[in-house]
């Protein structure tokens, strides 16, 4: 596609349920990021994938959060047993690698009720 594609664009879920958020990066981009943006806050780094290397998970806030990247392309961020504080916009981004421009998707707005 022309840009980073994320789905769903909006998700309302009940506390305690699991959610999956999907990211389809720009074709050919080897680096993929997940960030979280809470209301009125900056962008909080969650996880980074680069090619076939082990991901950098240093930003994941708890073990309820996990992410996979299959075949070096599509990524899924999974949040288990969602809590109200997980409500935020989850942004995916991709780039050609270190030092290159990072392009963001439109985000997935998650609301936990």
Site string for other proteins, 29-48 (x = CB under 8 A): --x-x-x-----xxx-x--x
By CB under 8 A, tell whether 102 contacts other proteins.
yes
Query: Which of residues 20 and 106 has its CB atom nearest to other proteins in the complex?
Result: 106
By CB under 8 A, tell whether 98 contacts other proteins.
yes
By CB under 8 A, tell whether 52 contacts other proteins.
no
Length of the chain: 113
CB 5 within 8 Å of CB 103: no
By CB under 8 A, tell whether 1 contacts other proteins.
no
**Distance (Å, rounded) from C-alpha 88 to C-alpha 73?**
24
CB 23 within 8 Å of CB 92: yes
Q: Which uninterrupted H or E stretch holds 42?
A: none
By CB under 8 A, tell whether 76 contacts other proteins.
no
């Amino acid at each position: 596609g022309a840009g980073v594609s994320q789905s769903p664009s909006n998700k309302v879920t009940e506390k305690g349920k699991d959610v999956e958020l999907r990211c389809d990066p720009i074709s050919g981009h080897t680096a993929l990021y997940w960030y979280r943006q809470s209301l009125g806050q900056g962008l909080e780094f969650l996880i980074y994938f680069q090619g076939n290397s082990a991901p950098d998970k240093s930003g994941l806030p708890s073990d309820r959060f996990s992410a996979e990247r299959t075949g070096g392309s599509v990524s899924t961020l999974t949040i288990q047993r969602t809590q109200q504080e997980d409500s935020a916009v989850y942004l995916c981004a991709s780039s050609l690698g270190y030092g290159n421009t990072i392009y963001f998707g439109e985000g997935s707005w998650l609301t936990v009720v």
